[in-house]
A and B are shown apart, each in its own frame.
Chain A
Amino acid sequence: MFGYILRRLAVAIPTLLLLIIFSFLLMHAAPGGPFTGERSLPPQVLANLEAKYGLDDPLLVQLWNYLKSVVLHFDFGPSFVYPDLTVNKLIADGFPITMTYGFLAFALAAVVGIALGSAAAIRHNTWLDYLAVGTAIGAQVLPNFVMAPILVLIFTLWFKWLPGGGWSFSDPSFWVMPVVALGTSYMASVARITRSSMLEVLSSNHIRTARAKGMPESRVILRHALKPALLPVISYLGPVFVSMITGSVVIDIYFSTGGIGRAFVDSALNRDYAVMMGVTILVGALTILFNLIVDILYAWIDPKIRY
């Protein structure tokens, strides 16, 4: 197991370094720098600015310095557009918010999805099954950017129950719509995957044996059916986590929650390369880390995986 984790890390770390180098080079291939705005600066001022941010060094030196500061000090440098902001400050402000509703949405997708899917499989071909399948099909065409306006329309404009935007760590009524908008379509996918794999497991030999022994049904399902049925779900959870982070961009913009998604899109529109790179690298690191966790979890649960 330990060797397996080490081997996976040996792939993950170069991947992350490649991502940093790739986005760095991409930024520098871009026409126009962060200081080529509407008003052109006098050459001397421009030269001073470039010297301040180290943009006049050779490319390789810049890359080396950037890698050093990111890897050793976890420092993404200053924002190019707002000189008094650092990228670290932007991330520190936005990230806890994104993580809070992201984690809740992930929990919604995983817990409710698995429960719904299992219930549908256990009560195969009853109204519960049809309801679950219907919800799953319906939610497939309702991604976060469609759910968000629909939720606001119903719960803010018509019923006036929930605030239509903003964020507060102390008031959960601000959390409801971001979490539901972000989690629904993945909840549906998780439910669908759980249902079909649970159906397959329930018709397998070891379940028949367990039932023949006279084991109570609840124990059959919890002890014998759930674990093998969850395998395909676990391998799906990695991509779900990544989509949650990506989807947070829409949530941050639509609900003005103040997470890192807003910072990312603003920086994309302003060509604030430092912020874009910082967010991309952070998300990349999280993606790689989470895929690693999912792989380890999978290897731990599935005895057929050799590591």
Chain B
Amino acid sequence: MVIEQAKMQSLASRMVEHEVKGRSPWADARKRFVRNKAAMAGLVILILVALFALFGAHFAAWSNEELDYNVMGQVRELGMPSIASGHYFGTDDLGRDVYARTVQGTGISLMVGIVGAAIAVIVGTLYGATAGYVGGRTDQIMMRTVDILMSIPYMFVLILLLVIFGRSIGMLFLGIGLISWLDMSRIVRGQTLTLKNREYIEAARATGVPSWKIVLRHIVPNLLGVVAVYATLLVPLMILTESFISFLGLGVQEPLTSWGALISEGAGTMNYGTLWQLAFPLFFFCITLFGFFFVGDGLRDALDPKDR
């Protein structure tokens, strides 16, 4: 049998040169995400807003607590946004710099959103994965508890908590964290139920891996996609909740501020013609929510290719 030596040689060398590179599901997802224009625009907006919150204070001519006595009483005429006076976004009715306050409010609102979502991710994932994996009566009891907690009008209970234990930012974090994980635990449980009969889980169980280790090592990593999507969509909801409470004056207290508090102040002084006080915080609030929604939708499309 004559084999064309030269041809085989060239084929072999070609195969060595052009080794087919495997793609992980995550790399595929990244590619789909990058191709999604709305999601990329959302990501860019979010990065810009985060940079604004982190470094915006360095460019402020006024601190967030200073009162500009020159404009007091004539905010409508002198407190306009202008580069010359250093009040890039104008001043509020007390003569405080709206730019500096917006930077501060952006930071606090983003922090509340991210911390709230982080609590939801940690508590909700562990709770849901445990309930789904253990199953049986434990699962029944755990999910009934979630059902009961979900049927409570949480905004009212949250306000109750804030009034009783003091209106501090710590309490706000705790209160938002207490309610945010409920949905997450349901989603994670549903996903765990489909995962737990896979072969690799069976293999792990057969080799005697303890249950808690199976949950942490094998179930939780495979939930990451769902959790990431839901967490991105949860952040804007947390920001909305915090803003709602701060709008009522029950959330973040002075001298701290947040988007909700700034929008509330701006809405209150709109009659006097100082529209910039409403417009700038509202602008940052809206574009950030847009950003999170777009990125969340993009992540969902990227990680769940069958759903389109």
The segment from A69-77, A104-112, A203-211, A246-254 found at the interface with B is: A246-254
Say whether A250 contacts B157, CB under 8 Å.
no
B262 CB, nearest partner CB in chain A, Å: 12
Is A85's beta carbon under 8 Å from chain B?
A: no
Let me know if B99 is at the binding interface, CB within 8 A.
Answer: no
Contacts A29-B164, A157-B270, A291-B151; A145 near B157 (Cβ below 8 A)? no
Residues on B with beta carbons closer than 8 Å to the beta carbon of A250: 244, 247-248
Q: How far is the CA of A27 from the CA of B157 in the complex (A)?
A: 11
Tell me the B266-308 residues at the A interface (CB within 8 Å): 266-267, 270-271, 275, 278, 282, 285-286, 289-290, 293
Instruction: Report if A141-B153 is in contact (Cβ < 8 Å); known contacts: A26-B164, A276-B163.
Output: no
Q: Are A137 and B293 in contact (CB under 8 A)?
A: yes
Distance (whole angstroms) from the CB of B134 to the closest CB of chain A: 22
Give the shortest distance, in Å, between B36 (CB) and chain A (any CB): 15
Q: How far is the CB of A21 from chain B (nearest CB, A)?
A: 12
Cβ-based interface call for A297 (8 A): no
Which of B164, B240, B285 has most chain A Cβ within 10 Å? B164
The docked-state distance in angstroms from the alpha carbon of A254 to that of B267 is: 9
Task: Give A265-290 as 1s and 0s: 1 = Cβ < 8 Å from B's Cβ atoms.
Answer: 10011010000100110011001100
Give A288 to B163 CA distance when docked, in angstroms. Answer: 24
Q: Is A173 an interface residue (CB 8 A)?
A: no
Q: Closest approach, in angstroms, between the C-beta of A292 and any C-beta of chain B?
A: 9
CB distance from A64 to the nearest CB of B (A): 21
A265 and B153 form a contact (CB under 8 A): no
Q: Is B159 an interface residue (CB 8 A)?
A: yes
Contact A279 B156 (CB under 8 A): yes
Contacts A148-B267, A250-B247: A26 and B285 contacting too (C-beta < 8 A)?
no
Known A284-B152, A287-B151, A287-B153; judge A149-B248 contact (CB<8 A): no
Name the residue among B160, B243, B293 with the largest chain A CB count within 10 angstroms: B160
- Separation of A271 and B160 alpha carbons in the complex (Å): 10
Q: Which of B232-249 contact A (CB under 8 A)?
A: 240, 243-244, 247-249
Cα(A278)–Cα(B231), bound, Å:
34
Check if B147 is an interface residue, CB within 8 A of chain A.
yes
Specify which chain B residues have a CB less than 8 angstroms from the CB of A30 in the assembled complex: 163-165
User: In this complex, which of A29, A30, A141 has the most chain B Cβ atoms within 10 angstroms of its Cβ?
Assistant: A141
Q: Which residue on chain B has the smallest CB distance to residue A28?
A: B164
Residues in A whose Cβ lies below 8 Å from that of B156: 246, 264, 279-280, 283-284
Interface centre among A137, A143, A253 (most CB of B within 10 A): A143
Q: A23-B160, A141-B289, A250-B247 in contact; A153/B153 too (CB < 8 A)?
A: no
Instruction: A142 to B271: give the CA distance in the assembly, Å.
Output: 21
Task: Assess whether A168 is interfacial by the CB under 8 Å rule.
Answer: no
Q: How many cross-chain pairs have Cβ atoms below 8 Å apart between A and B?
A: 104
| Cα–Cα, bound, A52→B199 (Å) | 68
B142 adjacent to chain A (CB < 8 Å):
no
Is A245 on the interface with B (CB-CB < 8 A)?
yes
Per the bound structure, the CA–CA distance linking A61 and B275 in Å amounts to 54
For B138-161 the 0/1 string (1 means CB < 8 A from A) is 000000100110011101110111
A242 located at the interface, meaning its Cβ lies under 8 Å from any Cβ of chain B in the complex: yes
Given contacts A157-B271, A254-B267, are A146 and B151 in contact (CB under 8 A)?
no
Tell me whether A19 is interfacial, beta carbon within 8 Å.
yes
The residue on A at minimum CB distance from B164 is A30
Instruction: Give the residues in chain A near B270, CB-CB below 8 Å.
Output: 149, 152-153, 157
Contact A276 B248 (CB under 8 A): no
CB distance from B284 to the nearest CB of A (A): 11
Contact B157 A23 (CB under 8 A): yes
Residue A18 CB within 8 A of the other chain: yes
Query: Is the C-beta of B250 less than 8 angstroms from some C-beta in chain A?
Result: yes
Closest residue on chain A to residue B163 by CB atoms: A268
Q: Is B180 an interface residue (CB 8 A)?
A: no
A134 smallest CB distance to B (angstroms): 12
Q: Mark A140-183, 1 if CB is under 8 A from B, else 0.
A: 11110110110011000100000000000000000000000000
The reply to whether A140 and B289 contact each other, CB–CB distance below 8 Å, is yes
Asked whether any CB of chain B lies closer than 8 Å to the CB of A48, the reply is no
CA distance A268 to B160 in the complex (A): 7
- A268-B159, A279-B156, A291-B151 known; A145-B244 Cβ under 8 A: yes
- Which residues of chain A have C-beta atoms less than 8 A from B250's C-beta? 265, 268-269
Decide: A146 and B285 in contact? CB cutoff 8 A: yes
A265/B248 in contact, CB under 8 A:
yes
Q: Does A15 reach chain B (CB closer than 8 Å)?
A: yes
The 23 listed contacts between A and B (C-beta, < 8 Å) are A11-B144, A15-B152, A19-B152, A26-B161, A30-B164, A141-B290, A143-B243, A145-B260, A145-B267, A149-B278, A157-B270, A157-B271, A246-B153, A246-B155, A249-B155, A249-B248, A250-B244, A264-B159, A269-B163, A269-B249, A279-B156, A283-B156, A291-B151
Interface contacts beyond A146-B285, A157-B271: sample of 16 additional A-B pairs, CB < 8 Å, sorted by A = A11-B148, A15-B151, A19-B152, A140-B289, A145-B244, A146-B286, A149-B263, A149-B270, A153-B270, A157-B270, A245-B153, A249-B155, A249-B248, A250-B247, A280-B153, A284-B152
Q: Identify the 3 closest CB pairs spanning chains A and B, nearest first.
A: A149-B267, A30-B164, A141-B289
